[in-house]
Amino acid sequence: MQVVRTIAEMRTLRQQLDGAIGFVPTMGYLHRGHLALVERARSEDQFVIVSIYVNPLQFAAGEDLTAYPRDPNRDRELLRQENADIVFIPSDSEMYPTGFSTWVDVEHITERLEGASRPGHFRGVATVVAKLFNIVRPCRAYFGQKDAQQVLIIKRMVADLNMGIEIAVVPTVRESDGLALSSRNLYLSPEERRAAAVLFRALTLARELRADGKRDADTIRNQMKALIDKEPLARVDYVSVADARTLDELRTIDRTTLASLAVWIGKTRLIDNMSLE
Amino acid sequence: MQVVRTIAEMRTLRQQLDGAIGFVPTMGYLHRGHLALVERARSEDQFVIVSIYVNPLQFAAGEDLTAYPRDPNRDRELLRQENADIVFIPSDSEMYPTGFSTWVDVEHITERLEGASRPGHFRGVATVVAKLFNIVRPCRAYFGQKDAQQVLIIKRMVADLNMGIEIAVVPTVRESDGLALSSRNLYLSPEERRAAAVLFRALTLARELRADGKRDADTIRNQMKALIDKEPLARVDYVSVADARTLDELRTIDRTTLASLAVWIGKTRLIDNMSLE
């Protein structure tokens, strides 16, 4: 496995690869959710490239950029075990040299849910992913369903800008109590960790209500909120029952629907989502 | 020479090309300025691809989108004579299908000069050029120095988004009285056509003043404006004496400087520029 730190070296190596390239962009501090992406790439592509980069552009002032957990040595060892071919770990000055001033902006779908709670977040995400795609030039790129809105935005960007990259979506990996794996779970105290299972329980409730034939979206949202409100350590940021393609909030469930939510557990903000089939 | 109208066909053809690809994006209605770009590509690259697309995104409401001159048959014949390999002529529905919502935004340098006079113009330019670059995947792309600000913006975008494409800049082609070739010159009546030479005369004056040792930028701007004001059919939109890299207006000429201007000749808005060495 080669560890690459400059864009120039990454380009040179890339030119030598002749075959399908799978790419997994990450912010590091890898967990089994990331590794599921790498394993999927390993099973589908001839070469697997993983990037580790905590992208400052997608953190707003006051968010957890500096606190965001990092463990590059452990990450490299995990990726070696997964037989990744190349790990790309650029520095901030490689990615955003002085004078940097170009942004990729996806409209509409970026304004809801995470975009509403975190202004500028998806502009940062789209911009860094466009850069990484241009540097790595993969055939396929792998993203987790846990960041459902991010997946929709990346797919939109790839289609709109004709990037010619296949976006593969990998199911959310969960702990035994249903908590979706996230690098931010590290922030949770043992008590908070137990409380955090409320996100999965609320999503499961939504799915059960839908399975019982409930079609009124407000009823489902309200019951999800009521369930979360019963957990003293949890505070709802948003609860959404929306069109799974556009993320427009629904009044009546009459199409493919995604339930999603963001919940503060103490000082940690967690997100999750589930399809309501 | 192959004429290609769909993105899918363009991609398929592109994959079959093994060698350096030069790309000339145009809005058609080709003149000798465009052909100079094609000739330069022909001399440097193994394959030459030219696109013809009047990009609606770079025209504001009230601008000359519908009036913009078009003559695809003549364009194709000219490109055949120049031995272009592929002409890519996509439709609006190919380029911007329903739901399109991604923009490439270059900040700062887009806000001055043409960007100030034509809000949203460069956002449209950067977006379509990013799309075309992704579809054509050239090694080199050719732009005319006449659109000096556009050149700086495209270079910035390519660097910032790591597109890995060389941007080649070709000198402005001029009529015998100095008027820069432009598809919009077609709009001029014979009287206006004579008046339009005032842009070149003003730029030449700026260069002479600089050669005489003048370093005060306001003096140069004012003398350029005074010269244009003497032409009854001309009306200044802007006159700029700016840092040639950033387009920041200068007070004193102490670095590489670009004089540029936009002038209304009747209902036609023309632009031009000249380096003040």
pLDDT (tens digit per residue) in B77-104: 999 999 999 999 999 999 999 999 999 9
**Is B27 in the A-facing interface, judged by CB distances under 8 Å?**
no
Judged by a CB distance cut-off of 8 A, whether residue A264 touches chain B is no
**Residues in chain B, total:** 277
Which pLDDT does position A277 carry in this prediction?
Answer: 76
Between positions 79 and 118 of A, the ones with CB within 8 A of B are 99-109
Contact call for B102 and A135, based on CB within 8 A? no
Low-confidence ranges of chain A (pLDDT < 50): none
Which residues of B belong to the active site? 34
Mutation target for B interface from A100, A102, A139: give the one with most B CBs within 10 A.
A102
Query: How many Cβ pairs closer than 8 A exist between chain A and B?
Result: 74
Query: Which residues in chain B are contacts of A103 at CB distance < 8 A?
Result: 104-107
- For B81, counting Cβ atoms within 10 Å of its Cβ (0-12 exposed, 13-18 middle, 19+ buried), the class is exposed
CA-to-CA distance for A9 and A265, rounded, in angstroms?
41
For tokens 């404006």, name the residue. Answer: B225
Residue in A100, A157, A164 closest to B102 by CB: A157
Residue B218 sits at the chain A interface (C-beta within 8 Å): no
Q: Is B7–A162 a contact, with Cβ atoms under 8 angstroms apart?
A: yes
Domains (range + CATH), chain B: 2-170 (3.40.50.620), 183-272 (3.30.1300.10)
Question: What string of DSSP letters covers A164-228?
Answer: --EEEEEPPPB-TTSPBP-GGGGG--HHHHHHTTHHHHHHHHHHHHHHTT--BHHHHHHHHHHHH
- Report the gap between the CA of A232 and the closest CA in chain B (Å): 40
Neighbours of A202 (CB within 10 A): 26
CA of B51: how far to CAs of A51, B28, B92, B130, B252, in Å? 34, 8, 13, 13, 41
Q: Which tokens sit at B205?
A: 């004056």
Angstrom distance (rounded) from CA B140 to CA B155: 12
Q: Is A104 in contact with B103 (Cβ distance < 8 A)?
A: yes
Which secondary-structure segment (H or E) carries A59? none
CB distance A199 to A177 below 8 Å: no
* Interchain pair B109, A126: CB under 8 A: no
Contacts of A134 in chain B (CB under 8 A): 161-164
CB contact under 8 A, B101 and A102: no
Instruction: Please indicate whether, in this complex, the C-beta atoms of A102 and B162 are within 8 angstroms of each other.
Output: no
Q: What angle do CA A132, B246, B34 make, to 5 degrees?
A: 80
What is the model's pLDDT at position B277?
77
Residue of A nearest to B100 (CA): A160
Angle between helices A7-16 and A121-136 (to 10 degrees): 50
- Smallest CA–CA distance from A105 into chain B, residue: B103
pTM of the model: 0.97
Of A7, A108, A164, nearest to B162 by CB-CB distance is: A7
- Cβ-contact B123, B157 below 8 angstroms: no
Contact A109 B101 (CB under 8 A): yes
Counts for chain A of helices (H) and strands (E), in that order = 10, 10
What is the DSSP pairing of strand B140-144 with strand A257-265?
unpaired
Spell out the residues 6+ positions from residue A33 whose beta carbon is closer than 8 angstroms to its own: A144, A146, A172, A173, A180, A181, A182
Cβ distance A103 to B107 less than 8 Å, yes or no, reads yes
Q: Say if strands A140-144 and A21-26 run parallel, antiparallel, or are unpaired.
A: parallel
Measured between alpha carbons, how far is A211 from B59 in angstroms, rounded to an integer? 50
Buried residues in B213-252 as b, exposed as e (16+ CB within 10 A): eeeebeebbebbbebbeebebbebbbbbbbebeebeebee
Chain A CB contacts of B161 below 8 Å: 102, 104, 127, 130-131, 134
Q: Are B52 and B26 in contact (CB under 8 A)?
A: yes
Alpha helices in chain A (DSSP H): 7-16, 32-44, 72-81, 92-95, 113-117, 121-136, 148-160, 190-195, 198-211, 217-229
Question: Around Cβ B42, how many Cβ atoms within 10 Å?
Answer: 18
Residue A9 in contact with residue A28, Cβ under 8 Å? Answer: no
Residues of A with catalytic function: 34
A101 vs B135, B160, B162: nearest CB = B160
Beta bridge pairs of residue A144: A170
Cross-chain residue pair B162–A107, CB shorter than 8 Å: no
- Calculate ∠ Cα A116-A121-A126, nearest 5°: 120
Say if B247 is an interface residue toward chain A (CB within 8 Å).
Answer: no
Alpha helices in chain B (DSSP H): 7-16, 32-44, 72-81, 92-95, 113-117, 121-136, 148-160, 190-195, 198-211, 217-229
Please report, for residues B42, B54, B60, B68, B264, the alpha-carbon distance to residue B57 in angstroms, rounded to integers and kept in the order given. Answer: 29, 9, 8, 13, 22
Residue B64, C-beta contacts closer than 8 angstroms, at least 6 positions apart: B184, B187
Residue found by looking up tokens 């432009």 in the block: B182
Mutation test of the interface with chain B: which of A55, A92, A127, A134, choosing the one with the most B Cβ atoms within 10 A? A134
Mean pLDDT by 10 residues, chain B (277 residues): 98 97 98 98 98 97 93 97 98 98 97 95 98 98 98 98 98 98 96 98 98 97 98 98 97 97 98 95
The enclosing H or E element of B111 equals: none
> Which residues does chain A have within 8 Å of residue B9's beta carbon, measured at their own beta carbons?
none
Instruction: Measure A128 CA to nearest chain B CA, in Å.
Output: 8
B13, B18, B104, B139: best mutation site toward chain A, by most A Cβ within 10 Å?
B104
Q: What is the chain A residue with the closest CA to B155? A: A102
**CA-CA distance, B32 to B22, in Å (whole number)?**
18
Residues A226, A220: Cα–Cα separation, whole Å: 10
Complex ipTM? 0.96
Q: Show the tokens assigned to B213.
A: 């040792």
Would you call A102 and B106 a contact, using CB atoms and an 8 Å cutoff? Answer: yes
DSSP B216: B
Residues whose CB falls within 8 Å of the CB of residue A144, separated by 6 or more in sequence, listed in order: A33, A34, A36, A37, A151, A169, A170, A171, A172, A173
| Chain A contact set for B134 (CB, 8 A) | 161-164
Contacts of A109 in chain B (CB under 8 A): 101
**Are the beta carbons of B160 and A134 separated by less than 8 Å?**
no
Q: At A106, which amino acid appears?
A: V
B15 in A contact zone (CB under 8 Å):
no
- Chain B residue with CA closest to A131: the answer is B161
The CA distance from B71 to B89, in Å, is 12
User: For residue B177, which amino acid is it?
Assistant: D
Tell me what percent of chain B is helix, strand and coil, each rounded to the nearest 5.
40, 25, 35
By the 8 A CB rule, do A56 and A131 touch?
no
B248 Cα to chain A: minimum distance (Å): 14
